[in-house]
Chain A
Amino acid sequence: MSLIKLLNRLLFVFLFSTCTVHAAESLKVINAWSPEAPPVAKVMAGYMTIDNLSNKDIKILSAKSNSFKRVEIHLTEMKDGMMRMTKQENLTIKANSHIELKQGGLHMMLMDKLEPIKSGSIIPVTLTLDNGKTININLVVKVNNEPEVMHHHHHH
């Protein structure tokens, strides 16, 4: 990769993906990322933390991306001895609260990949909220050598 390209990418990542704050909607999305998948895989996952900074509950009604045919929010849960994935028709983030989309739990399911996506790519996703507004987020594609499930997060 040439230096210019690298700088461009760094600038791009800095501008669009470090931390997306949407003051109007009061939703803050942080650490939005997607594990790089085998090129042959048609689906990928999206993980992030969504903060609701407002005093009202906010509901995410739908999600879409130009890189995938369909985007849904699913919950992985252990049920009847199986890992089941249940489609969430919508996702409510309670007032002054946050939810985490993470491995083995709630996640964005990106279905039917339309273009090759590699580590370093950005997957743009648009979320439609129940207040009629939309917000754009960028999933940074990373090789997850140390899956999140191995870490113990301490909440303060």
Chain B
Amino acid sequence: MPSEKPSKKKNFSQNVILPVSLGILSLVAGLWLSQQILINNNDAQVPKNLDATVLPNARLLVEFNLLDQNQKTFSPAQLKGQWSFLFFGFTNCPDVCPTTLKVMQSMWKTLPTKIGDKGHPKLYFVSVDPQRDKPEILKNYVQYFNPEFNGITGKLNEIDKLTNQIGILYGFDEKDGDNDKEYIVNHSSQLILVDPKGRMRAVISPPHDAKTIASNFQTIRTFYGD
């Protein structure tokens, strides 16, 4: 029957296509696997020539329960899925905090990614002064610098759970004068970079500079992958 001819041809081409596609598939899988191994190998190494201090063994951040500027939970889960910068301070801070947030505003303008893009980071400004910095104040404060920035605060014991894990220090200076709302908060001014798995990956020490932070961040991102 003439109708069987194309059918046999089809069988023949199927016989060829299957091994070829299997071959391509295994090649792709192999490449992917070697890429994964490469990434996993990088995981315990650090990129060179950085101003940031990179942790060879990224430290998983656990167990803290804070509030974001919209009164929603901010816990380790919120640090997963994207790179995050953490900075600690308070809104009654005249010098260090606004200067650093201004630097991060400039740094954000140099990012090659936009909000929603893979690898686009988040910035969390964590107030260690929950007595004065209510979520709505924090929201107005950080969004003045960039509408993408997030303000975080919470109970002091929950803030401590986070700061103790990453080596951030803070303390209150004795309240002087007639107004007990006037006091100074001393605090570490390092920026902490958290990877998309929610692990502390790098510490960036002051004086902060937008260009250096931007280039260090891209180097770290490329080295470890998003």
Q: Which A residues lie at the B interface, using CB under 8 A?
A: 35, 37-45, 70, 74, 76, 78-85, 87, 103-104, 107, 109-112, 144-147, 149-150
User: How many Å lie between the Cα of A35 and that of B101 in the bound state?
Assistant: 12
Which of B94, B169, B208 contacts A82, CB < 8 Å?
B169
Contacts A103-B95, A144-B102 known; A85 to B171 CB distance under 8 Å?
no
**B170 CB-CB contact with A under 8 Å:** yes
Tell whether, in the assembled complex, residue A110 and residue B207 are in contact, meaning their CB atoms are under 8 Å apart.
no
| Distance (whole angstroms) from the CB of B9 to the closest CB of chain A | 70
Tell whether, in the assembled complex, residue B182 and residue A111 are in contact, meaning their CB atoms are under 8 Å apart.
yes
Which of B103, B188, B210 contacts A83, CB < 8 Å?
B188
B209 CB contacts on chain A under 8 angstroms: 149-150
- Least CB separation from A80: chain B residue: B169
**B127 CB-CB contact with A under 8 Å:** no
Tell whether, in the assembled complex, residue B210 and residue A150 are in contact, meaning their CB atoms are under 8 Å apart.
yes
How many of B's residues come within 8 Å of A, CB to CB? Answer: 33
**B153 CB-CB contact with A under 8 Å:** no
Tell whether, in the assembled complex, residue A85 and residue B206 are in contact, meaning their CB atoms are under 8 Å apart.
no
| Distance (whole angstroms) from the CB of B88 to the closest CB of chain A | 10
Tell whether, in the assembled complex, residue B94 and residue A81 are in contact, meaning their CB atoms are under 8 Å apart.
no
- Least CB separation from B99: chain A residue: A103
Q: Could you list some 7 contacts between A and B, CB below 8 A?
A: A40-B137, A41-B92, A82-B169, A82-B186, A84-B186, A85-B184, A111-B94
- Least CB separation from B101: chain A residue: A38
B175-207 Cβ-contact flags toward A at 8 Å (1 or 0) = 000000010101111000000000000000011
Tell whether, in the assembled complex, residue A35 and residue B96 are in contact, meaning their CB atoms are under 8 Å apart.
no
Identify which of B43-51, B70-78, B110-118, B139-147 touches chain A: B139-147
Tell whether, in the assembled complex, residue B106 and residue A43 are in contact, meaning their CB atoms are under 8 Å apart.
no
Tell whether, in the assembled complex, residue B91 and residue A35 are in contact, meaning their CB atoms are under 8 Å apart.
no
- Least CB separation from B184: chain A residue: A85
Which of A41, A82, A109, A147 contacts B99, CB < 8 Å?
A147
